[in-house]
Every structure is written in C-alpha cells, then in structure tokens.
Amino acid sequence: MDFSVIINELPLYFEGLLLTAQLVPFSLILGFLAAIPVAIMRLSRNPLVNYPAFAFTYFFRGTPLLVQLFLLYAGVGQLDGYSELTKEFDFLKGAYFFALLAFFLNTTAYTAEIFRGAMAETPFGEIEAAKACGMSKWMILRRITIPSALRRALPAYSNEVIFMLHGSALASTITLVDLTGAARIVQSRYYAPFEAFITAGVFYFVLTFLLVWAFRLVEKHFNKHLNRREETIIEVVT
Amino acid sequence: MLDLEGYGYGIIVEGAGVTLFVALSSLFIAVLLGMTAALAKLSNSPTAQAIAGIYTTVIRGVPDLVLMLLIFFGGQIFINNLPDNLLELLLYIGEKTDQGDALKISMAPYLDWGYIDVNPMIAGILTIGFIFGAYMGETFRGAILAVDRGMLEAGTAYGMSKIQITRRILIPQMMRHALPGFGNNWLVLMKATALVSIIGLSDMVRRAGLAAGATREPFKYYLVVALVFLFFTTLSIWFLKWAERRYSVGVRRMS
C-alpha cells in the first residue's frame, strides 16, 4: 500500500463523500414520504388503486438498480419532448437528476413494501378500539395504523437505508463523482486498485456503522414500549 | 413486440444466458462459503468465529460495486505479483534455515506462469459469490439455531456421527427455516449480476448497452433487459413458493 496516493487524493474522496451524502439522504427522504401513500394504495381492496401500486413496486423491486439507472439516464433523455422540457427546467439536465430519480423510485418501491407489511400486521384490537372511539377511516390511519406500523418497520427500514447507501455507488456508472467515482478516478490515475478501492471501502464501512448506530438509537427511542421489562425476581421461599 | 432492429432478440437471449450462468455459479460459491461461515460462527473455536465474524461484517459494510472493482483490478495485480512475492518469501525461509537460495531456485520453475489476464467472468463470479456468501452465512446461522435441539440430541442417542447428524438431520431440518432468507438472497444476487457489465463481461446489460449506443434507442433495449430480469424474478418467486411448501410438509399450522 502506497499511502501517499491516498493522502494526495483525500480532497477528491471528500468531494465524493459530499455527493454521496447528498444523493442518499435526498432520495431516502423523498422515498420515505412517497412510500406511505404507495403502501396505503397497496392495502386497498379496489383493484384500480391496488394494481398500479403493485405494478410499480413489482417493477422496481424485480429489476436491478443499474438497469433502472440506465433506463432513466440514457432512455428517458432520448425520448421526444424531453430536450424541450430541459430548456424550461435546467435542473432536469445531467446525471445528478437521473441518479436522484432512480434512487428515489427504487427506495420508494422497497420502502412501500416494508410499510405495507408492517401496516397489514397492525393488531386488530387497536383498530377495533379506534372504531369504538368513533374515529373515521382517515383518522384511524393517521393516528393508529401509520404511527404503529412505522415503529414496527424500523428494523427492516434500517436495512433498506444501508442498501440505498451501497446502491448509491452505482451513481459512478453514469459519470457522477461520488465516493466510488472518486476511487475510480484514483485507480485510473495511478493504477493502484488496492489504495483506491480500499480507501472508498473504509469510507462506506464507517458510514454503514454510523447508520447502524444511529438506527439503534432511534429504535431505542421509538420502540421503548416494545422492550421486555426487566423481569421481577421471585424468591422462592423454601 | 418491440422491434430490436438489426440486433434482434439474439443478443438478449445470449446475454441472458451469461447472466444466468454467472448467477447460478456465484450462488454455488455463496452457498459453500455461507455454510462454512455459519458453521464457523457456531463452532467452539474462537479463531474460526473471529474470521467468520470479520468476513460477514466487512463484506456487508461495503458496496458490492466497490468490492467487485477491487477484486477485478486488484486481483490482476495480486496474481501477477504473487510469484515474485512467493520467491522472496522462499528466499527468506531459506536464509533462516541456512539453506541459502537453494529453496528459491528449486521452486522458481514452478512459479513462472507468465502474465495472467484476469477473466471478467471469473472475477465476477468469485466476487458475487464472495459477497453473497456473507449474507448466506447470516441466513444459515439463524436457520441452524432454529432447528430443535432435541432432534440433534436424538441423532446422538441413535449413535450417529457428527457428519451423519449434519447430513441427515441438520441440513434437511434447517432448509425450511433457511428458505425465506435464501430466496431473498437469491433475488438480490441475481440483480447484482448486472454489475458484471461494468467490468466488461458481455452479459445482457452490456450487450443491450452496445446495441443502444449503435442504434441510439437506449430506452427500448434497457426496457427489454428490465423485462427479462422481471421474468427471472417472477420465475424464482414461483419456484421458491413451491419449495417452501415442499419443505414445510408435516409442520403443524393453525388453520
């Protein structure tokens, strides 16, 4: 290992880190917000509501993120009328927008499926109690189903967040310089694959563990009521 | 159907064959590594536990693309530097044991294998197998722990050896618990094979990309690739459902 290469190129890695640290939270926040309505649609018994949501999640969960990225970046840009649109809206141009779009759609599909599972598992008694209190359908959704489902979905959702972080490495395939993109530049400049990719790997590793740790705190906070109480010791008198 | 112009569906079919071959070969490696990692984690040896622990933690903390690029580019350098490094090691051993460079000279002909080009197919299969071995390891570990202790004890009571117990009781019984996690891992693995197109292997994605570049119709070609992946996913889900039913025979369930 030649550490001078790594030290020389650290600014490049930090630039890449900055991009990764933008793409991942942006797509996660947007995906989280969009996933809740999609999950509610998936629970509907009306096929006109359910099927579009099902088709969306099935497509985005059943195909590789790389193909989705290429389909959007290379494919949509080629469609008629798109270049007209970019003249009006400048931000639609370029790889950044498409990476964000692909990550957003992908994480929405996965998150929606996680939330759907958690909502479907809401204990029947909770909903019954809410009905008995005279709450309307939307009120039950807002006050009972969603809050309790989100809490139960936390462990699965933390996995999805880590998958998104790892998936964001694909942004480097459409010319963006994220952490992986930085490593690929270093590799092509010095032909030093170990230095280049292990450095990026260490960055990702640290990010992953920060996320795992943060989610553990969040879970501890929101799922306090689910923890087992400390067992009372019963002394047996003989 | 979509008109794929001069390229026809041949490129997609050939590419799909490569994709499937890579997926199944790496699945084989992943299952072997995963089983080894799971047994190592559950063994009594602290060294085996530590190695398996580092393996599953590090792999799951780093993106697969980064690992693949590392193994593809790094593997090239590693293999081609290996003879020199080994010879240096032999010289060192020789000097320590007062044989001088005799050991190095005697081994030198065997270590002269010239320049080796790492095949992207092999690099891809090894990397994906190596990555998913870590995920499989976690799945198998959980499944082994879910097997009723009493069954294994009963095996011991019948005088079966450790290997017999593993083969006859542990593996058939853990299949049921491992299948859901195994199925998820397989679905993710299959989609991860798309990454081999980045290191230059002519799988479906790369062939579609080349055709898309030539015809300037990327949307069409990538859409077909996406639909083929969707088809594989659907097929896998059906098969996994069937297997789950098959391995849950005899499990009591609330009606």
Model confidence over A70-90: pLDDT tens digits? 999 888 877 777 777 777 776
Report, in angstroms and rounded to the nearest whole number, the Rg of chain A calculated over CA atoms: 23
**pLDDT higher than threshold 60 for residue B128:** yes
CA distance A127 to chain B (A): 23
Cα dist. B33→B126, B133, B148 in Å?
11, 5, 24
Q: What residue ranges do the domains of chain B occupy?
A: 5-65+128-247
The answer to whether B166 and B175 have CB atoms below 8 angstroms apart is no
Percent of chain B with pLDDT strictly greater than 90 = 41
DSSP 8-state class, residue B4: -
Give the distance, in angstroms, between the CA of residue B137 and the centroid of all CA atoms in the same chain. 11
Tell whether B229 lies on the interface with A, counting CB pairs under 8 A: yes
Confidence of residue A224 (pLDDT cuts 50, 70, 90): confident
Percent of chain B with pLDDT strictly greater than 70 = 95
Averaged pLDDT, B42-52:
91
pLDDT computed for residue A48 by the predictor: 93
Model confidence over A25-51: pLDDT tens digits? 999 999 999 999 999 999 999 999 999
Confidence of residue A164 (pLDDT cuts 50, 70, 90): very high
Q: What residue ranges do the domains of chain A occupy?
A: 3-226
pLDDT computed for residue A18 by the predictor: 95
Hunting for tokens 């933008």 — which residue is that? A22
CA distance A117 to chain B (A): 15
The answer to whether A211 and A161 have CB atoms below 8 angstroms apart is yes
Nearest to B131 by CA among B49, B197, B71: B71
Give the distance, in angstroms, between the CA of residue B91 and the centroid of all CA atoms in the same chain. 36
Cα dist. A184→A13, A44, B23, B111 in Å?
10, 46, 25, 31
**pLDDT higher than threshold 60 for residue B179:** yes
Which residues of chain B neighbour A61 with C-beta distances below 8 Å? 233
**pLDDT higher than threshold 80 for residue B105:** no
CA distance A159 to chain B (A): 11
Nearest to A66 among B69, B195, B216 (CB): B195
Model confidence over A104-126: pLDDT tens digits? 999 999 999 999 999 988 888 98
CATH of domain B5-65+128-247: 1.10.3720.10
**pLDDT higher than threshold 60 for residue B180:** yes
Which residues of chain B neighbour A203 with C-beta distances below 8 Å? none
Tell whether B92 lies on the interface with A, counting CB pairs under 8 A: no
Model confidence over B135-157: pLDDT tens digits? 999 999 999 998 888 998 999 99
Hunting for tokens 């369930």 — which residue is that? B253
Three state DSSP letters for B211-235: HHHHHCCHHHHHHHHHHHHHHHHHH
The answer to whether A185 and A175 have CB atoms below 8 angstroms apart is no
Higher pLDDT, A170 or B201: A170
The answer to whether B155 and B165 have CB atoms below 8 angstroms apart is yes
If you average pLDDT over every residue of chain A, what do you get?
Answer: 89
Hunting for tokens 């580092």 — which residue is that? B54
Residues 6+ apart with CB under 8 A from A237: none
Q: In A137-175, which positions are buried (b, 16+ CB within 10 angstroms) versus exposed (e)?
A: eeebbeebbbebbbbbbbeebbebbbbbbbbbbbbbbbe
One-letter amino acid at B246 equals R
One-letter amino acid at A65 equals L
At CB < 8 Å, which residues of chain A contact B? Answer: 58-59, 61-68, 70-71, 74-76, 78-79, 165-170, 172-173, 180, 183-184, 187, 193-194, 197-198, 200-201, 204-205, 208-209
Higher pLDDT, B91 or B21: B21
Domain A3-226 in this protein, CATH class: mainly alpha
**pLDDT higher than threshold 90 for residue B185:** yes
- What is the count of residue pairs from A and B with beta carbons less than 8 Å apart? 113
Alpha-carbon gap, residue B155 to B150, rounded angstroms: 9
